[in-house]
Amino acid sequence: METVVIAGIELRLCPPDALDWTWVGRPELLRQLLAAWSVLDPADLPLAPRLIGRPGVGKTTLAAAAARALGRPLYILQATMDTRPEDLLITPVIADGQRLRYVASPLVSAMIAGGVCVLDEGNRMSEKSWASLAPLLDRRRYIESIVAGIKIHADPRFRFCATMNEDASTFDVPEYIHSRLQPQLLIDFPERDEEHAILRANLPFAPHQVLQYLAAFLQRAHEEDEPYTVRDGINIARYALKLAAAAPAQPADLSQQLYQATTQILGLEALDYLPGARPDDDDDDDDDL
């Protein structure tokens, strides 16, 4: 691991995340995120947007694609209800010979390296943890580690965003943090052609009929405001194809495997949205599966 010395304190940086994720469809969202991170003048500063949407709609993928477009290393920090301020900043560890060593979090590593930090599922954190980031998210652009006793200023190339899920298992983000996490980018369910393109990009080995079938399933679920996302569709397809490969002696008809995969991944209630499950279904949705 790379190490740096700041104010006499040696910090071990964590490596960036090596993710080759591609943002498929909805180029306007990528444009908006890159615009938020742009700097127009030496007196200007990048914004720290929050990406909001249901789990699985591609918030982290969008941020990763934006980091790739900028040519910057990506650092992802997964927030939980147990995330402490020191988890966000600098953690002391006991090294060989009982020597104390300081390890920078992905966020602080990104600050020092001039990378992009994605605070994933940020609204699962408590206010105490958010408070430690307040000076980083305004014009000061620094963090102060009580544990290490140092202040670290962000590299001018550093960019930040937080993803937030729309569900009940989250904390309310304090208003003084909300005012720093601007703008808000809402990531909703994609249209059918976009969803099909996302499935195809993630499942290049899947038959066309399977992708069509799952795109129809997801659009039906979206119409009824079900929480199923393209991530669920990808998992269903992968599992169904694995089930089919595990029984090569059986006919190539994938309908049975898709039904089984859907049941085991999302539950019996999800079967109502599979093509062919309704009396008024037409034949185009399943492409003769």
Q: What is the pLDDT of residue 281?
A: 55
For CA atoms 14, 15, 21, 27, give the dihedral sign.
positive
Do 138 and 198 belong to one domain? Answer: no
Give the range of the structural domain holding residue 139, as residue numbers without chain letter. Answer: 3-186
Q: What is the pLDDT of residue 287?
A: 53
CA atoms within 13 A on the CB side of 210: 28
- 110 assigned to some structural domain: yes
- 98 assigned to some structural domain: yes
What is the tally of structural domains in the chain?
Answer: 2
- 155 assigned to some structural domain: yes
Do 34 and 125 belong to one domain? Answer: yes
- Do residues 197 and 155 touch, judged by C-beta distance below 8 A? no
| Domain harbouring 38, CATH code | 3.40.50.300
Do 17 and 94 belong to one domain? Answer: yes
Q: What is the pLDDT of residue 39?
A: 96
Do 60 and 100 belong to one domain? Answer: yes
Do 162 and 145 belong to one domain? Answer: yes
Do 162 and 219 belong to one domain? Answer: no
Residue 193: pLDDT above 50?
yes
Among 179, 249, 229, 237, CA closest to 213: 237
- 94 assigned to some structural domain: yes
> Could you report the per-residue pLDDT of 90-137, keeping only the tens digit for each?
998 887 767 888 999 999 999 999 999 999 999 999 999 999 999 999
> Could you report the per-residue pLDDT of 18-30, keeping only the tens digit for each?
887 788 878 999 9
Do 201 and 255 belong to one domain? Answer: yes
**Final residue before a domain boundary, out of 128, 163, 186:** 186
Above pLDDT 90, what percent of the chain? 72
Confidence of residue 62 (pLDDT cuts 50, 70, 90): very high
Q: What is the pLDDT of residue 14?
A: 94
Do 22 and 95 belong to one domain? Answer: yes
Do 13 and 82 belong to one domain? Answer: yes
DSSP symbol at 84: -
Q: What is the pLDDT of residue 26?
A: 85
Mean pLDDT of the chain: 90
- 282 assigned to some structural domain: no
**Final residue before a domain boundary, out of 136, 164, 186:** 186
Residue 250: pLDDT above 90?
no
Residue 60: pLDDT above 70?
yes
Do 72 and 32 belong to one domain? Answer: yes
Residue 48: pLDDT above 90?
yes
Across the chain, where does the E strand assignment appear? Answer: 3-6, 9-12, 50-53, 74-78, 90-94, 100-104, 116-120, 142-145, 150-153, 159-165, 184-186
Do 180 and 116 belong to one domain? Answer: yes
- 8 assigned to some structural domain: yes
Do 153 and 56 belong to one domain? Answer: yes
Residue 255: pLDDT above 70?
yes
Q: What is the pLDDT of residue 87?
A: 93
Confidence of residue 279 (pLDDT cuts 50, 70, 90): very low
- 244 assigned to some structural domain: yes
